[in-house]
A and B are shown apart, each in its own frame.
Chain A
Amino acid sequence: MDVQNQAPHIFDEETLIALYDDHSDSIYRYAFRSLGEANLAEDCVADVFIRFLERVATGKALTGNIRAYLYRVAHNWVVDHYRREKPEADLEAQPLPAHNANPENRLFEKENQARLRQALLALPEDQRLVIELRVMEKWPYEAVADVLGKSVEASRALQYRALKKLRQSFSPQWM
């Protein structure tokens, strides 16, 4: 059952279960990509859906796209996690070593991946979402546009700007 574009009726048993079944895996993938660790990603999934239920329990209206809402909660969870972790190394302030598949440079590649995750987190929400859904999840533009509440062309432009910003954030000028 596809419930991605409808606010669930809180008394609809099927909708609540289907919502979890439809979205938990994609939220997990998003969390894993952001955090790089399976157990943490599971924590994130569980908390995202429990927060969703807590919101339902308060009776506050859930406006807009449910999937976008879940991604937003997941994103906040990830940001909170990094706040709690308080990494000593400021990854954003470090230069990017050249990409190379040579095994000797795996350490640098791991570092790059971590920095890219940080850079993604620093993107504005809609840009981050378009990278997540379009580039990583390989959704068609139409589906991405639907989640973002924008036109297909606007979504394309958003992806262009997001990729441009990601490239800029790795530029040596940020040393």
Chain B
Amino acid sequence: MHKKNDYHPMTDAELEGLLAEIGQVPQRNPDNAARAKARYLIAAGRCLQAITTEQTTKTRRKKEFKEMQPFLKRFSLAFTLAAVLLVFLLGGVGVTAAAASSALPGDPLYGVKTGWERTRLQLTRQDFKKVELNLAYAQNRLDEIEALITAERLDDLEAPVQAYETCILEALAGLEGIRSNSLAADSQLGRAIRASLGKYTADLETLSNRVQTQRRERLEEATLFSKSAGAYHGKIEFVGTVNAIDPNLWIVSGLEVIITASTEVEMGIDLGQQVEVKGWVDALGSIYARKIEHEADGRAFNLNGKGEFLGIVNEIQPDYWIVNGIRFEVSATAKIEPGIGVGDFVEVEFVRNNKDEYILREAEFALDDNEYYGTVDEIHTEYWVIDGLRFELLPKSKIEKGIKVGDFVEVEFVRNASGENYLLEVEFADSEIYGVVDEIHTDYWIVNGIRFELLPNSKIENGIKVSDFVEVEFVRNQAGEYILLEVEHKDAYNSSDAGYGYNRHGGDDDEMVGFVDEIHSDYWIINGIRFNLLPKSEIERGIKVGDFVEVEFFKNCAGEYFLLEVEHEDD
């Protein structure tokens, strides 16, 4: 068997074999292809309309426009009809969608309205936009709930309440998907979701107060759901034994699991059975189940060998802990995260010795670390207050030097079962970053995957376009949004001084030797690698294609190489 570092130079046959492998493309999904074409047709229709509008403003083209207009209108209409037809076929809606926008559940056009929303979701490929759409649709459902209450159509409330919860769950699921790709986007979207849910919770509470019948209970459930989801802390999955079953609360391996209206529970689960619980934990440590199902894979706590599991701390003694009723011996080498107390939800790693004892190897909070941005209100020896929240200090808390009251900081912390925050790290929040422009919109930009909101007084250097490398100066508001103050082109070479991901070697440049393949005014190719030239690139005179040279270079976070110095390699 080959080992990972058992390599040899590539032969022609191997290269062609590999190229053939990656050259194979599975058949394109016809539905996806149709959706892509629908988007193209819609955009083409807009494009033509834009051209039509522009032309009407240009008097010097009046004559030409006059001749074109009937054709343009016909063509634009043809495109629009084709697009609508495709969208209709895909999503089951048509041009009546706009007319249906004010329809309520039970109205004839309500299906058209929600169908149009579903179609927009289907046509939207970017995950963060799907999250934003789901939040917008959640607001639509709340508007409908309000309209139904005003119209005293309380029997129709269930559908929009359920749909509201589905939108929130899908937004949270979308957030999970994004989390794996971009922590920055996750953090930003997470705050957006929390901000939205805070508003939704308040709206639902107001609406609940307007309803005096048994329907109020359903609205209160939705309010509870919004509160828990609003305080969304982290995804959780664990396997345990069912100790108690109540319509609103289960006990699984000693843990209280809250059941909401949207919890999916597999039929036939009984006391004493092994189940898998999937859900989330709110800021107070309460577990909300999204799904509970039979556990048939034997992934429950394994009494043999070694393993790890999630559980709640029942007791802490100097030489042993009890977690989920199981005793774990604590040795001197056990790694235990600071701040854990009785009642906390923890992840335990253990081994079983030959005396059948369980030896605790590691224990840590089962939840992800929290991240928080705010202004320092108070600094004490045992705790800090940041934006009104108290954070307890630990012996291992890392505190960046120089932070004082009034500074804007980034805090990493964990929260225990009692709701106390333990500060892991606090540092000055970055107020400027360097990155590549991903998207440019009228009201926001996306740089390095982070969305920056524009203000009327945001300063934007002329000529910046997508893919440019820029420096962004920003602040973050209370809702966690990034507000763009200034953006300007950044010289690639100087940016490495900033140490922000532009030099992956932490400031040390790389060197290599090789043959010069190509020489261009703005880049060289050496041994097949493209090196972009910089204003400060030092190039020894007389180097030509085919020469053997030594290159000093660095590589930026986008994987591009920049040439610092090139000279003949005498050795």
Given the interface pairs A53-B47, A56-B47, the reply to whether A95 lies near B2 with Cβ below 8 Å is: no
Interface hub of A57, A92, A109 (most chain B Cβ within 10 A): A57
Q: Which residues of B contact A163 (CB under 8 A)?
A: 12, 15
- CB-based contact B25/A84 at 8 Å: no
Q: Which residues of B contact A53 (CB under 8 A)?
A: 40, 43-44, 47
Taken together as a complex, chains A and B put the C-alpha atoms of A131 and B47 apart, in Å, by 34
- Which of B143-151, B328-336, B346-354, B521-529 is found at the contact surface with chain A? B521-529
Mask, B62-73, CB within 8 Å of A = 1, is 000000100110
User: What are 22 of the A-B contact pairs (CB < 8 Å)?
Assistant: A10-B51, A13-B75, A20-B37, A28-B25, A32-B26, A53-B40, A59-B51, A59-B54, A80-B467, A83-B438, A83-B559, A95-B7, A97-B6, A97-B7, A102-B2, A113-B22, A124-B525, A135-B16, A161-B517, A165-B517, A166-B19, A166-B528
Given the interface pairs A84-B449, A102-B1, the reply to whether A170 lies near B9 with Cβ below 8 Å is: yes
Beta-carbon contacts under 8 Å, B1-27 to A: 1-10, 12, 14-19, 21-23, 25-26
* Interface size of A as a range: 35 or more
Task: Give 9 new A-B contacts, CB below 8 A, not counting A84-B182, A84-B438.
Answer: A11-B68, A59-B54, A84-B181, A97-B4, A98-B6, A113-B18, A164-B528, A168-B528, A170-B15
Closest approach, in angstroms, between the C-beta of B245 and any C-beta of chain A?
40
Given the interface pairs A11-B75, A33-B23, A108-B4, the reply to whether A24 lies near B32 with Cβ below 8 Å is: no
Taken together as a complex, chains A and B put the C-alpha atoms of A81 and B22 apart, in Å, by 18
Closest approach, in angstroms, between the C-beta of A128 and any C-beta of chain B?
11
Taken together as a complex, chains A and B put the C-alpha atoms of A121 and B94 apart, in Å, by 41
Taken together as a complex, chains A and B put the C-alpha atoms of A16 and B76 apart, in Å, by 12
- CB-based contact B19/A99 at 8 Å: no
Taken together as a complex, chains A and B put the C-alpha atoms of A85 and B180 apart, in Å, by 10
**A105 at interface, CB cutoff 8 A:** yes
Taken together as a complex, chains A and B put the C-alpha atoms of A169 and B54 apart, in Å, by 49
Closest to B504 in A: A90
Closest to B525 in A: A124
**B294 at interface, CB cutoff 8 A:** no
- CB-based contact A86/B557 at 8 Å: yes
**B530 at interface, CB cutoff 8 A:** yes
Closest approach, in angstroms, between the C-beta of A119 and any C-beta of chain B?
8
- CB-based contact B25/A29 at 8 Å: yes
- CB-based contact A46/B438 at 8 Å: no
- CB-based contact A172/B467 at 8 Å: no
**B455 at interface, CB cutoff 8 A:** no
**B355 at interface, CB cutoff 8 A:** no
Beta-carbon contacts under 8 Å, B60-117 to A: 68, 71-72, 75, 78-79
- CB-based contact B10/A96 at 8 Å: yes
**B125 at interface, CB cutoff 8 A:** yes
- CB-based contact B10/A16 at 8 Å: no
Mask, B424-439, CB within 8 Å of A = 1, is 0000000000001010
Closest to B449 in A: A84
Interface hub of B2, B10, B29, B51 (most chain A Cβ within 10 A): B10
Closest approach, in angstroms, between the C-beta of B297 and any C-beta of chain A?
24
- CB-based contact A80/B18 at 8 Å: no
**A150 at interface, CB cutoff 8 A:** no
Closest approach, in angstroms, between the C-beta of B392 and any C-beta of chain A?
33
- CB-based contact A11/B50 at 8 Å: no
- CB-based contact B9/A42 at 8 Å: no
**B35 at interface, CB cutoff 8 A:** yes
**A153 at interface, CB cutoff 8 A:** no
Residues of A within 8 A of B (CB): 10-11, 13, 16, 20, 24-25, 28-29, 32-33, 36, 38-39, 42-43, 45-46, 49-50, 53-54, 56-57, 59, 76, 79-80, 82-86, 90, 92, 95-100, 102, 104-105, 108-109, 112-113, 116-118, 122-124, 131, 135-136, 161, 163-172, 174
- CB-based contact B47/A57 at 8 Å: yes
Q: Which residues of A contact B267 (CB under 8 A)?
A: none
Taken together as a complex, chains A and B put the C-alpha atoms of A169 and B122 apart, in Å, by 40
- CB-based contact A99/B14 at 8 Å: yes
Q: Which residues of A contact B6 (CB under 8 A)?
A: 97-98
Residue from A59, A100, A123, A131 in contact with B19 in the complex, judged by beta carbons closer than 8 Å: A131
Q: Is the interface of B mostly helix, strand, loop or mixed?
A: mixed
Q: Which residues of B contact A57 (CB under 8 A)?
A: 47, 50-51
Closest approach, in angstroms, between the C-beta of B41 and any C-beta of chain A?
8
Closest approach, in angstroms, between the C-beta of A23 and any C-beta of chain B?
11
Taken together as a complex, chains A and B put the C-alpha atoms of A80 and B559 apart, in Å, by 11
- CB-based contact B39/A50 at 8 Å: yes
- CB-based contact A98/B125 at 8 Å: no
Residue from B22, B47, B182, B436 in contact with A117 in the complex, judged by beta carbons closer than 8 Å: B22
Taken together as a complex, chains A and B put the C-alpha atoms of A95 and B2 apart, in Å, by 13
Taken together as a complex, chains A and B put the C-alpha atoms of A124 and B524 apart, in Å, by 10
**B159 at interface, CB cutoff 8 A:** no
- CB-based contact A167/B28 at 8 Å: no
Residue from A54, A95, A165 in contact with B528 in the complex, judged by beta carbons closer than 8 Å: A165
Closest 7 CB pairs of A and B: A165-B528, A136-B23, A170-B10, A95-B7, A53-B47, A83-B558, A57-B47
Taken together as a complex, chains A and B put the C-alpha atoms of A112 and B115 apart, in Å, by 44
Q: Which residues of B contact A118 (CB under 8 A)?
A: 559
Closest approach, in angstroms, between the C-beta of B516 and any C-beta of chain A?
13
**B33 at interface, CB cutoff 8 A:** yes
- CB-based contact A24/B33 at 8 Å: yes
Taken together as a complex, chains A and B put the C-alpha atoms of A164 and B9 apart, in Å, by 12
Closest approach, in angstroms, between the C-beta of A72 and any C-beta of chain B?
12
Closest approach, in angstroms, between the C-beta of A120 and any C-beta of chain B?
8
- CB-based contact A168/B1 at 8 Å: no
- CB-based contact B32/A38 at 8 Å: yes
- CB-based contact B8/A98 at 8 Å: yes
Taken together as a complex, chains A and B put the C-alpha atoms of A24 and B33 apart, in Å, by 9
Taken together as a complex, chains A and B put the C-alpha atoms of A53 and B47 apart, in Å, by 7
Taken together as a complex, chains A and B put the C-alpha atoms of A117 and B25 apart, in Å, by 14
- CB-based contact B28/A28 at 8 Å: yes
Given the interface pairs A53-B43, A167-B10, A168-B528, the reply to whether A45 lies near B78 with Cβ below 8 Å is: no
Closest to B3 in A: A97
Closest to B42 in A: A50
Given the interface pairs A57-B51, A108-B2, the reply to whether A24 lies near B19 with Cβ below 8 Å is: no
Closest approach, in angstroms, between the C-beta of A37 and any C-beta of chain B?
11
Closest approach, in angstroms, between the C-beta of B458 and any C-beta of chain A?
23
Closest to A30 in B: B25
